[in-house]
Chain A
Amino acid sequence: MASALARPLITVYSEKNEKTGTSLHLPVVFKAPIRPDVVSFVHHQMSKNRRQPYAVNKDAGHQTSAESWGTGRAVARIPRVRGGGTHRSGQGAFGNMCRGGRMFAPTKTWRRWHRRINVNQRRFALVSSIAASGVPALVMSKGHMVHDIPELPLVVSDKVQSFNKTKQAVIFLRRIKAWTDVQKVYRSRRLRAGKGKMRNRRRVQRRGPLIIYGEDQGLKLAFRNIPGVDVCSVKKLSLLKLAPGGHVGRFIIWTESAFRALDAIYGTWSSPSSEKKDYNLPTPKMTNTDLSRLLKAEEIRKVLRTPHKRPVRAVRKQNPLRNVRAMLKLNPYAAVLKRKAILTIQKKHLDKQEFLAKKTGVPLQKTKQQVRYEQLIQKRKEAIQKSKAAKPKTAKKAKKAPAAK
């Protein structure tokens, strides 16, 4: 995988769609971060700057000398027109709810129509939209018919700049297969929906390719009559042309000189711009944006802790005074105590029985278990004595749990 910031070579195409020998390094602008949110915001603000003020007449609705009749006349208290002899007399006036009254909050010309945008933001948006124009997917998603062009970004020889006939321009667009985009513009011509029709905005059409030139030697004249095609100088790039509608990804055709000039105008990260004072391209937040690849990468996986595949769930508290196992968890010695208690009870019981048996003279019937128990005890004693006799020094105490009763 090529490094994220590698700069491929772009071949320059002649005006007849043949590869000329020249190939240029991709200007670093095309590697700038693409931020559709910034572009959208800046575009939104910029588009407000071309507005013309509108307002209602300041006297509208107030050109009467109406006065409220007050209470007691069985009518609403809205100011009413004075006088008589005409329909108008006695009608409500002044209110926004009245017929012929002024509107609520009459619009004023001193509304803040224009917006200022920080220079850096403007430049950021511009740079983002240039970068986006170099991504074929984004240009296609915007709707431009670019599936037949030889390369994106499309750079054409400077001969195009000296076109002065529209015919030449059309032939050129046909040759580099940009004509389908223009045809799409033709097909999209329609009347606007809504009142704009009667406000001098009657017809609407799509946007076609944008041609960015280094020097105008007639190019503007050649291309201006082709519907949808816009023409722009590198030195005066406008966001409204590069990201029409606030969406990134316009289809741009660069001339060679324009393409070469980009590095100087916007700078590379290592060298600031020479045309713009104190400007350098925005640094991206992530240099490698392939998230799925990153998450599978060894370097990252190594540093992470192992995933918890089995989640630890909350355990219900058991009362140790009522639940034996809970008690044992807390105090294992409790088992011993309990056992001891049980055994002492049993012993006492047994002793009592023996005593009674003695007293009454009735021989006690021993259960199998008791018999076995006695035998076991006997055996142990003998075993202990034996071991003691065998090894007097190391006296091991046989610790055997009593037989189950």
Chain B
Amino acid sequence: MQNNDDIVWSIINKSFCSFKVNTKTQKFCRHEYNLTGLCGRYSCPLANSQYATIREEKGIIYLYMRTAERTAFPNKSWEKVKLSRNFEKALQQINENLLYWPNYLKQKCKQRMLKITQYLIRMRKLTLRRQKKLVPLQRKIERRENRREEKALIAARIDTAIEKQLVERLKKGVYGDIYNFPQVAFTKALASEEVQEESDDEREEEYNEGGREEEEEMEEETRAALEDATEYVEAESDDEDMESDEEHEFTDEGPEESEVEDIEDMARPSTSKGKKSKVSVEYELEQALPEKTKVKN
């Protein structure tokens, strides 16, 4: 039952072929040695034991040939011939090698070689121009990551972290004697903070509200201190410190940036206590996004 080509074709065509792709109008063949890319009786590499293709690897065009004798030895079945870079010489080479072969194969090989040389030329031209790399986005993944970003942002609770940082700095004495608060309010705020830290997980809401209220009060007071500069000491020194951009940097951008950097450091120890933020957030403000042209499917 040898000379199988017809049998093979009748089986492949009617039942299953793993390389066949069916569209409404056409049948394609995904076999890498297929000459035309279509699924048909004389272009199927499986159904023709005598077959030839043209393939291109890294810019070099090769002619592949297979004869009926070699079909039983799959790793040796394809004979590879390197074609000349000169198109006419390559055509002659094809004629030479495929002498006495069926005309269909010869014709299609030449056509394919032409197409390949054309697209290689185009590729070379393109590389001379501007190189824009197209990066395909995977919609599912992008959506997932965006949502996770949002959640991480919420989980990080940046506002509270900033507030904590500021208060800690105050405590440490980073701001020196710039801000002067009434002693009572200060101790109250500290106390509320301690309580907050203790029962963070359980009664977050209440204490957050309480704490925030008090911290807001505190912030208001600090603002008041800045603005009024009446009852408290060294209003002038405030202004001086405001004007001079030394370590503290009271420009608009400064505190935010430094806070942000510190917040990242803060985020790790604070999260070890409380909730774990699964995603580390890079929170960059007012910077241009990296240039990428995005290809959306």
A residues bordering B, Cβ < 8 Å?
Answer: 1-2, 4-6, 8, 31-34, 36, 40, 131-132, 135-138, 140-143, 146-152, 177, 245, 247-248, 284, 287-293
Contacts and interface: CB of A to CB of B under 8 A. Distances in A.
A57 B110 CA distance: 69
Contacts of B8: 135, 137-138, 141
Interface of B: 1-8, 11-12, 14-19, 46-47, 49, 71-77
Contacts of A34: 1, 7, 11
A288 B2 CA distance: 8
A151 B71 CA distance: 9
A247 B6 contact: no
Could you say which of B3, B7, B73 has the most chain A C-beta atoms within 10 Å of its C-beta?
B7
Contacts of B7: 34, 135, 289
Contacts of A131: 1
7 contacts: A132-B11, A138-B12, A141-B17, A141-B46, A147-B74, A148-B74, A150-B75
Given A135-B4, A137-B47, A289-B7, 12 more contacts: A1-B3, A36-B14, A40-B15, A137-B4, A138-B8, A141-B11, A141-B16, A146-B74, A147-B74, A150-B75, A152-B74, A290-B5
Contacts of B75: 147-150, 177
A290 B72 CA distance: 18
A143 B18 contact: yes
Nearest to A131: B1
Interface of A: prevailing SS: loop
Nearest to A142: B18
Contacts of B49: 137
Given A8-B72, A150-B75, A152-B72, A36 B1 contact: no
A142 B1 CA distance: 20
Given A33-B1, A131-B1, A248-B11, A142 B73 contact: no
Contacts of A149: 74-75
Contacts of B19: 141
Nearest to A177: B75
A142 B46 contact: no
Contacts of A6: 2
Given A5-B1, A31-B1, A140 B46 contact: yes
Nearest to B73: A151
B7 to A, nearest CB: 6
B6 A292 contact: yes
Could you say which of B11, B19, B75 has the most chain A C-beta atoms within 10 Å of its C-beta?
B11
Q: Report the 8 A-B pairs with minimum CB-CB distance, sorted nearest first.
A: A143-B18, A137-B46, A141-B17, A290-B3, A137-B8, A31-B1, A148-B75, A247-B16
Contacts of A32: 1
Contacts of B46: 137-138, 140-141
A154 B77 CA distance: 15
Contacts of A152: 72-74
A141 B30 CA distance: 11
B2 A142 contact: no
A34 B18 CA distance: 19
A4 B2 CA distance: 5
Contacts of A292: 6
Contact of B3 (A33, A137, A150, A289): A289
Contact of B18 (A2, A36, A141): A141
A142 B12 CA distance: 9
Nearest to B19: A141
Contact of B2 (A31, A136, A138, A248): A31
B100 to A, nearest CB: 15
B139 to A, nearest CB: 20
B12 A137 contact: yes
Nearest to B78: A147
Contacts of B73: 150-152
Contacts of A135: 4, 7-8
A137 to B, nearest CB: 4
Contacts of B2: 2, 4-6, 31
A289 B1 contact: yes
A137 B2 CA distance: 12
A259 B46 CA distance: 25
Nearest to A245: B16
B116 to A, nearest CB: 22
Contacts of B14: 36
A34 B12 CA distance: 12
A177 B76 CA distance: 13
Contacts of A290: 3, 5-6
Contact of A137 (B1, B15, B71, B76): B71
Contacts of A137: 4, 8, 12, 46-47, 49, 71
Nearest to B9: A137
Contacts of B3: 1, 4, 288-290, 293
A392 to B, nearest CB: 77
A136 B72 contact: yes
B5 to A, nearest CB: 7
B231 to A, nearest CB: 71
A293 B8 CA distance: 16
B74 A136 contact: yes
A293 B74 CA distance: 25
A290 B8 CA distance: 11
Contacts of B4: 135, 137, 289
Contacts of B76: 150
A13 B46 CA distance: 25
A292 B104 CA distance: 15
